Structure 1
């Protein structure tokens, strides 16, 4: 073992590879040697393997390259010259031995002893080359250690500085050296193989970046005021932070374990799932067991013990100060329900073991158990959000109070505010840990705990900085130090807030925030009634803080979505609250507080007017928050709250602006009392409280509506609505129908029966506009079946709009007689959903027929411009390469790190998560894709190549939109198959999708990669041909059934049983289909039959080439005239 400069030790027996650069450099030599000594059959096609002597020459050349490069490195680094030369000599010896033995083996490849000798020599060669690479890697280590030594010297000089001039001089040098060290450490971090070492190194870099400016200001404060002990504590804290971070970089660079004193509290426990979540997950897993494995003596105590531990944790959360009383009652209720469900399940297991129950009953009890634990989870999550909503509001107020007291020089007040500040910081950390306990997002939990730990360490030093400023309130150095610590604190609090928001769901946060704002509004109004200005000011501040939090959280959430109607609606609700409602509320609060403090100058009438205005402004704030929540919940991916959740029973909707058309004027009644349940129209509330049987009937109808909605989305959302009023109107009608359907379930933005009636009127107006546009399209269409279909579908829209208008007016036939809900109009409720479903079906059919009529059957005689433009909607933008998650988990420095210093090819190969849809619409990008996959193919990793380059293309063809599939088939697939035709069969083996098989076969036929159909050909079943023909032109989908009727008439209905050979079946069916096409080419046939026959022949030629199809067609026609016409047709097709 040799020791180098700066204490680096090298162990010749240690050949562990710790960096990617060494591994990537070694990979080519490993591949060459492995190919030479391998006794396994090659995966390459025969005739392409390299000769053994050529492989030997490649190995020798690679060894020479290693030695030449090592010589250059040894010449540039005299400190390590001897060790490098020793490793080079070892590589040269093992390389020469390998060359001799491999040549002998190449001359006699059947000799087993020679093979064994060569294998031993190859292993020795790889070991020696690895040692040489590790030794070369130590050169980089020496550079980093040299930078570390300079930084350590700078730190010591700063620590020992005796005056301000020396400090500034030493800090400037420290700044230069720390930049150099940070760059070296960043490259080393990206090159490390071990994930934990990467994260520790990132944490150390983040600490250095965060504390560098603090080091300067704290040192200045200590030099200016050495008599204050808090100044020394400040300086020592920052100095130790930087020194420990540099020590971590040194330990990781040298491959040594990090000392406990330097470890930045970064261990695996930070990224574990929360305690309560983990306990609930384990409990659910144990409950899910087969009844045959139940053992009462073992399982019952185990489940009961686990449940009691869960309930104990839930009780601690319920008893916290921030947990509301109603929430506490809900948690207790759910805990009792889980207990009872467990006992019922255990009893059912016992009954099953005694053969007195069935497995079906046990499964029912298991489902009940899971439902109860899910409800308990929901209440616990809401309790956590209670804490988050209360604590992470106005997080900087205690800090500003502390700084304000320090600037005044009031030492006693500083101590009082310091206690408040430390309690607040402790509360932030506690709530963050509570949020982690109910989360299962590992990365989010890690970030939350790291941010909380940093705040915990920083809080006492913020107080010390305030004490320094209080003792020397006129000192600019102390004030500068206080400002730096303040900025650092606020930055960490923002990081913690964002991290906590990431592990809490937006639905829970908005529901809880809405209730908390309602509580604050009630308290504010009560304080106004009691004429207490201080309390009004305090509660109004809470309202402003909570509203600001809602705006920030929702705005941050919307940044995760692609811009669209959904995000625009949410941002519009935010804009209304922020720019219109909140300024009005602030103004009303100011007037109210000024009036309360001038009691003598205000009469009762004026005071009542001001009070009424404040109530109206508060009501607007509450409604604005609810509008934001409703807008967010319009996302179909989010879960609507259940009927028994708070925020749904009485107060979730009021004067909502998220409706497509807005509430009716009749429904906008004055909202003078903010208490829930006092101002809603009873119609929707009664719909929520219908008996279970009636609600089940409505839910059954809604499920059918949802299926129709999915069909609607599949057909309509693929079109771009710019320049297409049909799509715009269809989307608007769908949105309104969804709101009306939600109303029947007691949900959605429609509040009253008048809102439903107005929604029906809006649908009628949209239907009339759609009717007019569709009739204009029909007028430009030639006389055809498509025109007749379009007119018929438009008439359906008129009919269903009228039906929807009628059912909406009798919708609210719900009465409350003697305390019992009597639903005399339940049929009209289901009729409303049925009418909406029928209307949506008619809209879908109209969109299809309008497309066909306006693009396939337009009257060419006129010069009119098309009424609407039919363009496919552009795909969402996605990155070319999806980089793996960054490793800097505990600091924001991860956003500023640069990419690895790799060649572009290796970047794409290492990050194999490639989505080809992002480059399909660019020919140059598709060429880049082909070049990269071709270069990677040359590295002779066939299996990896297929996984990286072929599979994403096939996946996109299977699942993407028609426009994407067209672009892939047009640009990417032909280039790949032209360069590597042998992969056509691999493409077909990857997928089972008929459409993709058709596309691959067609492209192979166009490139002359497929043999003739009537000799040997790749097997494709006949139903794929049918799909390939019909999927490209939907207007012929119904008419193609005639070909199947022809096959039935020719006794081919049971074709699978008549022929055992798939090839023969396919040939037989194909001949029948060609004959059917030829039979409809005579002039006696209809236009549509001739058109369909030519279209079918067109696609068959695409699939199987010209010659085979032409031969069958010539045999069908006996007339020489028709044979000549067919010949001309195929010649013309070949020219096209």
Structure 2
């Protein structure tokens, strides 16, 4: 709700605010109105104070007038909202005029139109507190309503974009010739890019971290499916009588439709299906609730019953069966879990006995015996949590090492290319077993993930492995039936790449879960959507043509370990600094987060992990990081424009250092390197420059944060909505903090469209 941060007035707008852009627009208004309200309690007012209050009141009125003009423009272009928006704008204008009149101390200013309610004959806010509170409430309520109504336009855009995609998707599914497919897929690609941009901005703007994680999962499906849809459809067109090709294609279309509906469910808050379903009960949540119940007994012996506490524990123990019943859990691990469950039962029984004894003597607080039992019970349940985390993370780590070699995938490709159906069947069974292991491991990780956004990511990983496994098998069967088909081979490669990509994502997921468990990072961090995914920035990739993509060997990784660790620590420090900002959508915050995220991926590269697989990936990432750094420099220069000379000089000096390092990094990443030694030196140089660049960002963040807080308190209450002012079409407001900034980096990474559209006209005749 929109409410004042102060304790003197609760300005409840009656509308739930779900996006950061709406919230950030209201915060300064609430702050200024609170300032006005607080002034009414001062018994004596100097002329200077009265003049200052009058200026604030007039500024609010003028700003509201500009704001309302934008709202009225939106209303005129969206007939379905015209009446609601018009009424809200009228109320906002009246309230703004009332505040100006109530703060008028009688100086020569043009009087505003008579507002309802009229003040009781007295001229100032100091003598008419009731009128000011009413006007403030009306203003906040009406402005919030205008913003929420404008937000409905954004939702309408996303739904409309989805509808266009669905129509084209239906056409794509029914095409029967390559010529028709090329034409329609080109249209489909453009529509998917538009949908990606809209949903990416929306994902950035959402306040609810669970919805944000669900949106990220659905968009990840769409990203992968766009490429799969292209190759699966081509294969089906080339081999129309092949049943496995049809099964392969149908699965892609079905998954894409489900992901599209899931996005709309999140945006419109539908309650029927998709990811709005209730998350399965995790052991982490059960342990958290159980410990909370036990510890609250210290304050109130009579708040719970022994039966409810016992029931909580048994429900928790029942969930551990996912671990103990698994065929992949070792005997030692199973016995350890069962032993800790039994210990938790015993400690709980002792607590219940001590609790009953305390109640029998009508004690008002926990006895010493109860206190000891509470500590022991909490300790035993924490030990159980630690053991379960150890089992789940250990299982995941072992699986990722084994599956990282991709032996079944390689074997399937070879067997398919040889037309060996028996070998394809054999390796398909091996892949199916691996899929079942990964699916079960994702389920175990979900139990110990430590946050709802990470639980959602685990569920997404589980569903992805479950779906892509059979799709790889059907693609391999098609290739085995048509071993000379380049299209069928390309299709199998795409599905195998999707499997490998999900394994890479699982490595990052496991690291995040471990970090949360050990208290190193927050599990609810939002993804940095302004980043292009590695390998999907065609302009930069063009500079790397002719270079050879190689991986660091074990010796090189060892020599880079210290430098990589420094990069990891700096990226963590930058994350910690941006978390201190009150405005998470501030341009400086978003750009700094992006830099930290990219630097972290470069750290993973030095360990042979993550999405950056080869030196080309690293050099590409360095180029993109330098571009992001230059954008941060631009944001810092804009920030400088509001500073005093002394402050401006300090920030400007560091900004110039940042620009120089970005240019150095960009030049280094583009410089050709021939041979192993030169390539390694180039890698070392890129990472060292990135380290220096992050150090400059880290020195700037706290200083800029301090200055931002200082100047934020001096800004006008509302101003004109900057996002709306910059967009020519006022009916389509841009969310504050959208990640696109005019780039296509928030798209679904449709390099597939760039690389494969030309290939559609060059299909082999074999």
Matched, 1:436 2:414: no
1:525-565 CA-partner distances (Å, limit 9, x unpaired): xxxxxxxxxxxxxxxxxxxxxxx9x999999998995479x
Q: 1:183 to 1:43 in 2, by over 3 A?
A: farther
Aligned to 1:41: 41
Matched, 1:176 2:186: no
SS in structure 1 at match of 2:402: coil
Out of 378, 386, 391, the residue aligned to residue 399 of structure 2 is: 391
Out of 280, 283, 301, the residue aligned to residue 274 of structure 1 is: 283
Query: Aligned-pair distance for 1:244?
Result: 3.6
Q: 1:353 to 1:456 in 2, by over 3 A?
A: same
Aligned to 1:448: 458
TM-score (norm 1): 0.41
1:224-267 CA-partner distances (Å, limit 9, x unpaired): 122123322322222233334344445555x452652xx2x355
SS in structure 2 at match of 1:177: helix
Q: 1:55 to 1:138 in 2, by over 3 A?
A: same
Query: Aligned-pair distance for 1:416?
Result: 3.5
Aligned to 2:222: 208
Structure 1 Cα separation of the partners of residues 294 and 194 of structure 2: 54
1:292-345 CA-partner distances (Å, limit 9, x unpaired): 9599x963x666666666666657634543333444455555555556656666
1:1099-1122 CA-partner distances (Å, limit 9, x unpaired): xxxxxxxxxxxxxxxxxxxxxxxx
Structure 1 Cα separation of the partners of residues 82 and 332 of structure 2: 77
Query: Aligned-pair distance for 1:479?
Result: 1.0
Structure 1 Cα separation of the partners of residues 299 and 24 of structure 2: 53
SS in structure 2 at match of 1:440: coil
Pick 1 or 2: higher relative contact order, CA cutoff 8 A, min separation 6.
2
Structure 2 Cα separation of the partners of residues 344 and 36 of structure 1: 58
Query: Is the contact made by 1:15 and 1:130 (CA closer than 8 Å) also made in structure 2?
Result: yes
Structure 2 Cα separation of the partners of residues 507 and 114 of structure 1: 54
Query: Is the contact made by 2:213 and 2:456 (CA closer than 8 Å) also made in structure 1?
Result: no
Query: Aligned-pair distance for 1:156?
Result: 3.0
Structure 2 Cα separation of the partners of residues 504 and 93 of structure 1: 52
Q: CA RMSD in A?
A: 5.7
Aligned to 1:235: 249
What are the within-5 Å matches in structure 2 for residues 563-962 of structure 1?
Answer: 881-882=578-579, 931-939=707-715
Query: Is the contact made by 2:443 and 2:459 (CA closer than 8 Å) also made in structure 1?
Result: yes
SS in structure 2 at match of 1:394: helix
Matched, 1:158 2:172: yes
Out of 391, 406, 417, the residue aligned to residue 407 of structure 1 is: 417
Structure 2 Cα separation of the partners of residues 351 and 64 of structure 1: 68
Q: 1:368 to 1:412 in 2, by over 3 A?
A: same
Query: Is the contact made by 2:120 and 2:128 (CA closer than 8 Å) also made in structure 1?
Result: no
Aligned to 2:682: none
Aligned to 1:66: 67
Query: Is the contact made by 2:578 and 2:701 (CA closer than 8 Å) also made in structure 1?
Result: no
Query: Is the contact made by 1:52 and 1:106 (CA closer than 8 Å) also made in structure 2?
Result: no
Structure 2 Cα separation of the partners of residues 482 and 373 of structure 1: 46
Structure with bigger gyration radius: 1
Q: 1:52 to 1:440 in 2, by over 3 A?
A: closer
SS in structure 2 at match of 1:269: coil
1:775-808 CA-partner distances (Å, limit 9, x unpaired): xxxxxxxxxxxxxxxxxxxxxxxxxxxxxxxxxx
SS in structure 2 at match of 1:203: helix
SS in structure 1 at match of 2:195: helix
Structure 1 Cα separation of the partners of residues 446 and 298 of structure 2: 32
Structure 2 Cα separation of the partners of residues 418 and 146 of structure 1: 41
Aligned to 1:317: 323
What are the within-5 Å matches in structure 2 for residues 484-563 of structure 1?
Answer: 484-504=494-514, 561-562=565-566
Query: Is the contact made by 1:291 and 1:352 (CA closer than 8 Å) also made in structure 2?
Result: no
Aligned to 1:425: 435
Query: Aligned-pair distance for 1:214?
Result: 0.8
Query: Is the contact made by 2:92 and 2:142 (CA closer than 8 Å) also made in structure 1?
Result: no
Instruction: For structure 1, list consecutive stretches of 5 or more residues without a partner in the other structure.
Output: 1-12, 509-547, 568-874, 909-915, 942-1136
Query: Is the contact made by 2:424 and 2:480 (CA closer than 8 Å) also made in structure 1?
Result: yes
Query: Is the contact made by 1:451 and 1:496 (CA closer than 8 Å) also made in structure 2?
Result: yes
Query: Aligned-pair distance for 1:484?
Result: 0.5
Structure 1 Cα separation of the partners of residues 18 and 310 of structure 2: 48
Structure 1 Cα separation of the partners of residues 388 and 85 of structure 2: 66
Query: Is the contact made by 2:158 and 2:198 (CA closer than 8 Å) also made in structure 1?
Result: yes
1:572-619 CA-partner distances (Å, limit 9, x unpaired): xxxxxxxxxxxxxxxxxxxxxxxxxxxxxxxxxxxxxxxxxxxxxxxx
SS in structure 2 at match of 1:322: coil
Structure 2 Cα separation of the partners of residues 92 and 284 of structure 1: 45
SS in structure 1 at match of 2:279: helix
Q: 1:559 to 1:440 in 2, by over 3 A?
A: farther
Out of 462, 468, 482, the residue aligned to residue 458 of structure 1 is: 468
SS in structure 2 at match of 1:48: helix
What are the within-5 Å matches in structure 2 for residues 1037-1052 of structure 1?
Answer: none
Structure 2 Cα separation of the partners of residues 439 and 26 of structure 1: 34
Structure 2 Cα separation of the partners of residues 370 and 484 of structure 1: 49
Structure 2 Cα separation of the partners of residues 336 and 88 of structure 1: 61
Query: Aligned-pair distance for 1:211?
Result: 1.3
SS in structure 2 at match of 1:462: helix
Q: 1:280 to 1:323 in 2, by over 3 A?
A: farther
Aligned to 2:679: none
Structure 2 Cα separation of the partners of residues 392 and 426 of structure 1: 13
Q: 1:43 to 1:404 in 2, by over 3 A?
A: farther
1:484-535 CA-partner distances (Å, limit 9, x unpaired): 0110011112222432344358999xxxxxxxxxxxxxxxxxxxxxxxxxxx
Structure 2 Cα separation of the partners of residues 430 and 923 of structure 1: 44
What are the within-5 Å matches in structure 2 for residues 190-339 of structure 1?
Answer: 190-250=204-264, 255=268, 257=270, 259-260=272-273, 263=274, 265=275, 267-269=277-279, 273-274=282-283, 278-279=286-287, 282=290, 286=294, 289=297, 293=301, 299=306, 317-318=323-324, 320-331=326-337, 334=340
Aligned to 2:106: none
Structure 1 Cα separation of the partners of residues 96 and 567 of structure 2: 64
Structure 2 Cα separation of the partners of residues 305 and 80 of structure 1: 52
Q: 1:385 to 1:22 in 2, by over 3 A?
A: closer
Query: Is the contact made by 2:222 and 2:259 (CA closer than 8 Å) also made in structure 1?
Result: yes
Structure 2 Cα separation of the partners of residues 507 and 117 of structure 1: 52
Structure 2 Cα separation of the partners of residues 507 and 345 of structure 1: 27
Query: Aligned-pair distance for 1:430?
Result: 0.9
Structure 2 Cα separation of the partners of residues 475 and 266 of structure 1: 42
Query: Aligned-pair distance for 1:163?
Result: 1.2
What are the within-5 Å matches in structure 2 for residues 7-26 of structure 1?
Answer: 18-25=18-25
Aligned to 1:469: 479
